[in-house]
Amino acid sequence: MKRRTFLTSTTMASMSLSAFLISGCTNVKKNEESEVVDDITTTFELEEETISSLRGKLASGKYTSEQLVQLYLKRIDAIDKNGLNLNSVIEINPEAIAIAKTMDVEMKAGKLRGPLHGIPVVLKDNIDTADKMQTTAGSLALEGNYPSIDAFVVNRLREAGAIIIGKTNLSEWANFRSTQSCSGWSSRGGQTKNPYILDHNPCGSSAGSAVAVAANLCVVAVGTETDGSVVCPSAVSGIVGIKPTVGLVSRSGIIPISHTQDTAGPMARTVEDAAILLGILAGIDSKDPVTSESYGKGEADYTKFLDAKALQGKRIGVERKPQGQNQFMHALQNKAIDLIKKQGATVIEIDYIDKINELGSAEFEVMQYEFKAGVNKYLATSSAKVKTLKEVIDFNSANEDKAMPYFKQETLISSNEKKGLDDKKYIEALNKSHFGSKKVLDDVIKANKLDAICGLTMGPACSIDNIYGDRWGDVFLTTPAAASGYPHITVPCGMVYELPIGFSFFGKPYSEPELIGIAYAYEQASNNRIKPSFKKSFL
């Protein structure tokens, strides 16, 4: 989501965008149009189940994996493809039932692959699967792209016994197509809706993954992030999202934007489930050299860091300046800070956002250079009919009515005009954005002896506007951890205007164990997860 902002503002306004332009954000009486659409939203028998709870029910024989898959597929058909038309799942895995049966046979024989054995999951549609599902990044130009090799993270999931039941819709090209994009829309998948208020935006680019988890269409999901694409949709859909340290999770087999910032990450309804999934996804991959940096720093099991008392004695930094202009957001943050203090942490006011903002548009410059190089490399060996970024642009132009009915492709075009990665302008931008962001965070963390930095992740979801694009408010806390490549976790914080708000914790590289402990302690003390209301509109 945040990437569009780089094109429309001369500064990276992480916490100070122009105005709080959330549509319909006034206190009004609910009317008939805001009521729940139908009873199916409240009668799903697997509602709010976790990996652990389903593991117990599989072990007891209450369910088989096949039954779980059938129930989730029925749920998807009922409220995602029909009924509410959430439109979060772009494609169903036709082999899901067969895989579930295999997992059941293994379980009956006493073979248990791990905590995800027989558990249904979904993946973002920019992650390669060597099966009967396509990988398109939501683009019509990539229709027919059936990868021959699983992405590294997909292979990890399969080895762990997870059942991939489908792929999720996303902001097309992970929201790296236009300056006027609407998050959660793709030419192949259409518009994904926010499950709390259906005419509101799910954020992106991992929109479908977040909505599928929030609406109980699966247990957990995998998203990807370059800047904000896991944590923003997680925050506005009332779930937990983890953007790992770049290098902890492999990117091989994932349609790229930036090799400096890209990473896959878990999305779940609880910190525990996110921690379980992160342990499966993490690993060193020879096809992604940056993962070698995680040697000795990653964990096979992050659940051992789930400690309800983890905030005791911690030093947590928070930006001194208020986040945005909205009084309800301020009250929510103050409540979160008070809770953190009550849990035994020391909260230190710090100044760092202005220094991040001073880095300007260098981050977007880095993305453009790396996107061109990365996409050309990916397409060259893919089964897609287009083999270069230029061919994608030409396809979209030739099929404008279908591929670009609303916003266009300025970002694709400007990226294609960039030179190679040896260009002086690219190197300068990389030094300014990536290494500059690292220095800002390293300095403030060291000077204040911080265990983490916190703050509101995002403002509430804006309205869906396919024609004029997103209109996000003045609260963004995605760029510091994204540009630096540092880990970031968002946890439900509460509601504003009947829409979820997330609370972020981020810190130094490979501090996932500490951040997961802190986030878990906050989650357990606050209990802020509220199930979606599926209202038609705010008014």
Among 498, 505, 488, smallest CA distance to 531 is for: 498
Residue 494 neighbours by CB under 8 Å, 6+ apart? 332, 335, 336, 500, 501, 526, 528
Alpha-carbon gap, residue 88 to 285, rounded angstroms: 30
Spell out where 73-116 has E strands: 89-92
Q: Six-digit token pair at 301?
A: 């099991």
Alpha-carbon gap, residue 194 to 369, rounded angstroms: 32
Q: Six-digit token pair at 408?
A: 């266009």
Does the annotation mark 437 as catalytic? Answer: no
Q: In what order do the strands lie in the sheet with 499-506?
A: 89-92, 163-168, 120-124, 220-225, 263-268, 240-243, 488-496, 499-506, 452-456, 315-319, 346-350
Does the annotation mark 124 as catalytic? Answer: yes
Q: What does DSSP assign to residue 505?
A: E
Among 529, 532, 490, smallest CA distance to 230 is for: 490
Which amino acid is located at 292 in the chain?
Answer: S
Asked if 245 and 486 count as a contact pair (C-beta separation under 8 A), the reply is yes
Q: Render pLDDT for 427-472 as a digit per residue (tens, 0 to 9).
A: 999 999 999 999 999 999 999 999 999 999 999 999 999 999 999 9
Q: Of 183, 186, 205, 294, which is the active-site residue?
A: 205
Q: What is the CATH number of the domain that holds 470?
A: 3.90.1300.10
User: Which stretch of DSSP H or E encloses residue 264?
Assistant: strand 263-268
**pLDDT of 539:** 73
Gyration radius of the chain's alpha carbons: 21
The verdict on residue 539 lying in a domain is: no
Q: At 348, give phi and psi (nearest 5°).
A: -115, 125
Asked if 234 and 240 count as a contact pair (C-beta separation under 8 A), the reply is yes
Does the annotation mark 205 as catalytic? Answer: yes
The verdict on residue 327 lying in a domain is: yes
Q: At 441, give phi and psi (nearest 5°).
A: -70, -45
The verdict on residue 155 lying in a domain is: yes
Alpha-carbon gap, residue 100 to 165, rounded angstroms: 9
For residue 263, CA distances in Å to 42, 153, 242 come to 34, 11, 10
List the chain pLDDT tens, one digit each, 539 residues: 444 444 344 333 333 332 222 222 333 333 334 444 445 555 899 999 999 999 999 999 999 999 999 999 999 999 999 999 999 999 999 999 999 999 999 999 999 999 999 999 999 999 999 999 999 999 999 999 999 999 999 999 999 999 999 999 999 999 999 989 999 999 999 999 999 999 999 999 999 999 999 999 999 999 999 999 999 999 999 999 999 999 999 999 999 999 999 999 999 999 999 999 999 999 999 999 999 999 999 999 999 999 999 999 999 999 999 999 999 999 999 999 999 999 999 999 999 999 999 999 999 999 999 999 999 999 999 999 999 999 999 999 999 999 999 999 999 999 999 999 999 999 999 999 999 999 999 999 999 999 999 999 999 999 999 999 999 989 999 999 999 999 999 999 999 999 999 999 999 999 999 999 999 999 999 999 999 999 999 87
The pTM assigned to this predicted structure is: 0.94
Q: At 254, give phi and psi (nearest 5°).
A: -120, 130
Q: At 378, give phi and psi (nearest 5°).
A: -65, -50
**pLDDT of 13:** 37
Distance of CA 358 to the CA centre of its chain: 26
- Helix, coil or strand: residue 1: coil
Q: Of 2, 65, 88, 124, which is the active-site residue?
A: 124
The verdict on residue 132 lying in a domain is: yes
Which residue carries 């005009």 as its tokens?
A: 417
The verdict on residue 30 lying in a domain is: yes
Residue 195 neighbours by CB under 8 Å, 6+ apart? 84, 86, 202, 211, 214, 215, 237, 532, 534
The verdict on residue 350 lying in a domain is: yes
Among 235, 189, 220, 197, smallest CA distance to 89 is for: 189
The 10 Å Cβ neighbour count of residue 383 is 13
The end-to-end CA distance of the chain, in Å, is 25
Alpha-carbon gap, residue 532 to 202, rounded angstroms: 12
Is beta strand 488-496 parallel, antiparallel or unpaired with respect to 452-456? Answer: unpaired
Alpha-carbon gap, residue 175 to 228, rounded angstroms: 11
Alpha-carbon gap, residue 263 to 242, rounded angstroms: 10
Q: Per-residue DSSP letters for 333-396?
A: HHHHHHHHHHTTPEEEEE--HHHHHTTTTHHHHHHHHHHHHHHHHHHHTSSSS--SHHHHHHHH
**pLDDT of 39:** 53
Domain of 207 in residue numbering reads as 3-526
**pLDDT of 41:** 55
**pLDDT of 43:** 82
Alpha-carbon gap, residue 39 to 526, rounded angstroms: 28
Which amino acid is located at 248 in the chain?
Answer: L
The total of structural domains in the chain comes to 1
Q: What does DSSP assign to residue 291?
A: G
Alpha-carbon gap, residue 328 to 267, rounded angstroms: 26
H helices within 436-495, ranges in order?
A: 436-448, 479-484
The verdict on residue 32 lying in a domain is: yes
User: Which stretch of DSSP H or E encloses residue 516?
Assistant: helix 512-526
The verdict on residue 535 lying in a domain is: no
Q: Of 65, 181, 229, 526, which is the active-site residue?
A: 229
Is beta strand 240-243 parallel, antiparallel or unpaired with respect to 488-496? Answer: antiparallel
